[in-house]
Every structure is written in structure tokens, then in C-alpha cells.
Chains A and B, each alone.
Chain A
Amino acid sequence: MKFTEEHEWLRVEGDEVVVGITIHAAEQLGDVVFVELPEEGTTVSKDDEVVVIESVKAASDILAPIDGEITEVNGALTDNPSMVNDDPQGEAWFFKLKVSDASQMDEFMDEAGYQAFIG
């Protein structure tokens, strides 16, 4: 698993990556009450706002970590947003992305690097 400075995790599955937010991010957000997912088939560029997530406190955007095409979204989150708090690094993945340029993955942190990043 790789981690971004925006507190996302990425797990490689063949030529796709699965994207979610970290346990740390979920704790910071508090109870998640709303998730708006992108449409499958959407082509996105790195740093595009692709997911809106609202907690009891505020709305936040999840940015596309790399360029690619959204191949699948986790529709279960729409009906059950609290999954993001219950299992952020497992069941509560947000979307799968077909990677355009695998080299964009190189800049991301590994787990130890991310733990050091969040202190």
C-alpha cells in the first residue's frame, strides 16, 4: 500500500489502483455522513476533485492521486457513509482507477514513511 500527503492510500491491483483514505484521515474527519462518488468511466487528472465527503463537522474533497480513468466506485458508501469510519483502509475504498502513467506512483510514501509524515 502507498500513501499520499493528502492522506489517501493506494493499493495496486494489476493495472488499476484502489483508492481510499487513511485511518488517520478518517479519525480527523469524524463521523462521515455523506459520500458523493464520481461516475464510472470518468477520466481524471491528478488533483482533480473526484469525491466529496462530509462529516458531521465539514465537507472535504478527495483528490485524484494520479491521472487515469475511474473504472469502479464503491456504491455501498453512498448508502452507508459510516463505513469510512469503521474500516477506512479496507471495506471503505472509494474508487478504482486505471492508471495512465505508472511512474506517478513513485512519489508516494510507504507505510513507514506515512506514519513518520503524520507524526
Chain B
Amino acid sequence: MSDLNRTPLFDLHVELGAKMVPFAGYEMPVQYPLGVMKEHQHTRDAAGLFDVSHMGQVILSGQSWEAVATAFETLVPMDVLGLGDGRQRYGLFTNDAGGIEDDLMFARRGDDLFVVVNAACKTADIARMKTALEPEITVTALTDRALIAVQGPGAEAAVSAMDAAAADMTFMDVRDLTLDGIAVWASRSGYTGEDGYEISVPDAQAEALTRKLLAQDGVEAIGLGARDSLRLEAGLCLYGHDIDATTNPVEGALNWAVQKVRRRDGDRAGGFPGAEAVMAAFENGAARKRVGLLPEGRAPMREGVAIFDADAGGTQVGTVTSGGFGPTFGGPVAMGYVATEHSKTGTPLWGEVRGKRLPLTIAKLPFVAANFKR
């Protein structure tokens, strides 16, 4: 694994007994000795700490906030200009066909935009932003900062014990905090469906901060395995699986992420890649849709399982894009795409697992209710 990158927390992961695996070009902890199931449940019951330093952190700066926001709106179908200072929003880079090139979080820090993108896409994303926006906007990849998520009902107590101001933040707020002397950028958000924070910290202080966070009551290190089952139960998309360059936001059931101001008849309608295709999808609907899938039995239905409209014969009407066992849900859960006429909640369908058609029903997402601090 010598050609893989390491995060500043690599040595700590090894010290904690993590099983390290290659992920998006990095050696990352997939699980610790606690194991995926217990790590998952610990995050829902108390607090989990995740190293997500492999993700891309980027700052966009320019002459003014208006200049930065207006420029970024040429790349995403989101309301960027309307974002208040200290607020964060979910976003999507679209392509000329309206497909999704990556999903991301963006936050306003004064006149700057702080963008967090997926590890596997970060090189392309940074190139996309530089090509489209420079030189008017300066695009700076922050290659010297780690990103640590603390998630779960105990996250507020753990983080606010180190800076009381953390408790004043609500969901999707961003703020500078000083955690036991270490200056960080924190957002109250995450990828688990739980309350919590994502904390951007200089590499040099990442390990010290992580040790301090792990020393707080109820905080355990959690690997990528549990991160995946947590986000699946929360109904959150994994880029490259549940959404990709061939799925548009309407197919991906991400309509909510495209604010009205960027849709047809909005004040700043269109003006992003694939705008016509995305607006047509809003107006005409999509032929397929991302939905929750609830297998009836105990057998997990994993990525790639074909979905049929009959228990024998019939037609393939969809495919699972993410699936597995939901430890909090207590059974198998999945999401995937089905033809829109089969996408209504409660519709019975069948997934083909090892040559057998097993019953499932279309289910509402999320499988486990979100626990955000609104």
C-alpha cells in the first residue's frame, strides 16, 4: 500500500488497533477492535469520531462575497448568494447533461466560500473550479488541514466541553472554535443522520485534537464501515454509487437541494452546467427515481442486486445502489433506482439475490429518523 496517501491520524489509527484499507487513494480505518456493529450503535447512542481527512477542503476567495457566490453559482444549481455568513449548505456539481459530478458541502466564512468535496473526486473538482473560476476567483486546495467528524447525541457535550460556543451552533451553522487551545473551523453537520460536528484543523494539531476529543466521555473512534451503515440508514447518498455522472438531481430525489431561486422562473434560474436538462427533469419528471428499499426477509440486498416487478419472470425495473444490514434498524436496508411508476412507497417488488427473487417494498427514507439540532 506504499503508493497510498495517509492522513495525519494514520499512526493514531494503527495505535488504536484499526484495520486499515485502501479507500479513495488513502489508507483509511475501516473498523477498530470494537467492530462495525458496535461502532455503529455507539455513534447512535453516544458519540463517534471519524477521520475524514481524505476529503477535499477548498477555499474560494475573491473581491467580495457576492463575486465568490455568483461565480460558484455557475457550477452548482444551488442558492449560494442567499447563504448567510456562518451557514452551510449541501450542493452538487452538475455536468452538461445535468448529471451529478460530485456532491459537496459549502459554507460561507465571511467573504470566502469553504467547500468540502469527496476524496475520490477532489482532483477533478479542484480542476473544475480552477478552470471555470480563475483568475477572478482564487481557488485554494487546503492540503494542510485534517477533517474530523464527531457525531451522535453525545457530540455536543464532548465538543462544547472544549469550547462552550459549540453548544450555541444549530444544524448547518459554521463557526471558528478554539478547542482546548486549538483553533478550528467547525460545522454542525455530518454524514450519519445524527447531531454532530465536522471539524477542520491544521494537520500539525490534528492528532493532539483527536486525542483530546477521544478523551471526552463516550467518544469512540469509528471506522468507514460504520460510517457507511450510518449514512445508509440516514438515507444519505454515497457519490459514485447512489448518484453519479449519469443521474440528475431529480432522478436522485435531491429536488430539495435545488432551491427555487435557481429553478425555472426563479430570480437566478439556470446558469449552471446542464441547466436545461435539470429544469426539464423538474418539469417533466424523471423516468427513474432513487428510493428506499426494504427487503422483507433477513438477507441483505447489496449494490448491484437487480429489482423485478414479479417473483418470477417479469421485467427488471430497477437496481440496488447501496445496501446492507442496518444495525439500528435491526435488519437489511437498501436504496436504489426504480422506474418511476414503481417508486410509490409501499409498492411490492423483488430483488434477485443469488438467483432467488426475494420480496421487498419501496420505503420512505430515512430508515432511522434524523436527530439534528435544528
Contacts and interface: CB of A to CB of B under 8 A. Distances in A.
Interface of A: 30-31, 33-34, 36, 52, 54, 56-59, 78, 81-82, 85
A53 to B, nearest CB: 11
A34 B35 CA distance: 16
B373 to A, nearest CB: 28
Interface string B298-315: 111010000000000000
Contacts, number: 40
A56 B298 contact: no
B37 A31 contact: yes
Nearest to A58: B302
Contact of B229 (A36, A52, A56, A82): A56
Contacts of B99: none
A57 B302 contact: no
B37 A56 contact: yes
Nearest to B37: A31
A85 B36 CA distance: 12
Nearest to B31: A30
Nearest to A57: B225
A33 B35 contact: no
Contacts of B300: 33-34, 54, 59
A30 B325 contact: no
A101 to B, nearest CB: 28
A34 B325 contact: yes
Contact of B324 (A36, A56, A78): A56
B36 A57 contact: yes
10 contacts: A30-B36, A31-B37, A33-B325, A33-B332, A34-B300, A34-B325, A56-B327, A57-B225, A58-B302, A78-B298
A34 B302 CA distance: 13
Nearest to B299: A34
B130 to A, nearest CB: 37
Contacts of B327: 56
B302 A59 contact: yes
Contacts of B324: 33, 56
A56 B354 contact: no
Contacts of B302: 58-59
